[in-house]
Amino acid sequence: MTNEQRKTRVLFLCTGNSARSQMAEAWLRQLGGERFTVFSAGLEPHRVNPFTIQVMEETGYDMSDHRSKHLEEFIGKIDFDYLITVCGNADERCPVFPGMGTRIHWPFEDPAAYQGTDEEKLAFFQNIRDQIQAKIQDWLEQLL
């Protein structure tokens, strides 16, 4: 068994794969270290939101290699230990598929849907980023 096979595989899922699931993927990669292989996807993927990139870069995380991906890229190709939905729409619409392990739902507000000035939007994205970081830190503590 290779080292990659022993890692816990986690898929974060939301509707657009443009904000919440991207941030969650980045945080688990950063905080979970080598114990995890982390992916994110969307049911209706859009491009990664520029505010997502900006707020993660503020923490020192480079998202230049991130792209939005459709859930179909993974169904039947990778077995996941955890499927974590980060929005209500994805939680309700996500099909059950082979290779889906434990399913968890973490509801976060959609920062991309927030209405306001760019400054207000940025602040909202930062708030969601920090909520996701805290949730992942708590989850990691529970796993250990």
Q: Which residues are catalytic?
A: 14, 87, 94
CA angle 76, 135, 3 (to 5 degrees): 45
For residue 40, the 8-state DSSP code is E
Give residue for tokens 């995890």: 36
* Bridge-based pairing state of the strands 8-14 and 36-42: parallel
d(CA 77, CA 57): 31
